[in-house]
Amino acid sequence: MLCSKCSTRPGFHSFTLIGHTKQGEAIWYSKPSITEEKKFTEESVKNYLIHLDEAAKEPYIWIFDAAGLDKLELPNLTIMRYFYMEVKKRYKDVLKCLYILHIGWKSKIIYDMLQPFLSDEAKKRLVNCKSQLELVSYGGPAEIVKNVYHSSSESST
């Protein structure tokens, strides 16, 4: 099922299945800064949850490319906490790891503000990576790094 934005403009949220690990986990990649949305709102959260519901049909890894997010308006902490709580409640059994790539200073503020709300288990599944190479060093799926690099460099041109 597509969200309301992606049903009229396919790929609007850049949430894309890019492969599977050797263990069979799906690998989803997103880069919100390439969309036309300039603010993370309650509607944005609902749309992202629709995409995550689609991903949750099987165990998966989410690679969230934060490159360019510092140009956007910071989301409201209440919205971010709601998003985190929904992800925790809905996907705790199927979201195996969330890798955050290219985190900037604004994104780092949000990341740091959410830390007190995270359980130890959630902290193990949330990995902040500065580059694709660091993604692999943290145990990220090496076989898809080339796809991630291709997706992120293609999107930034």
Q: SS in 3 state form for 1-23?
A: CCCHHHHHCCCCCCCEEEEECCC
pLDDT given for residue 9 in this prediction: 82
Task: Please say if the pLDDT value at position 31 is more than 80.
Answer: yes
Which pLDDT band holds residue 149 (cuts at 50, 70, 90)?
Answer: very low
At 144 the three-state DSSP class reads helix
pTM: 0.76
Q: Is 153 exposed, middle or buried (0-12, 13-18, 19+ CB in 10 A)?
A: exposed
Task: Please say if the pLDDT value at position 119 is more than 70.
Answer: yes
pLDDT given for residue 58 in this prediction: 92
* Rounded Cα gap, residues 73 and 142, in angstroms: 32
> 4-152 has which CATH code?
3.40.525.10
**Residue ranges per domain, the chain?**
4-152
Q: Taking residues 115-122, report their average pLDDT.
A: 78
pLDDT given for residue 137 in this prediction: 52
pLDDT in tens, 35-93: 777 777 888 888 888 989 989 999 998 888 888 777 766 677 788 778 888 888 888 88
Q: Taking residues 105-126, report their average pLDDT.
A: 77
Q: Taking residues 5-32, report their average pLDDT.
A: 82
Task: Please say if the pLDDT value at position 16 is more than 60.
Answer: yes
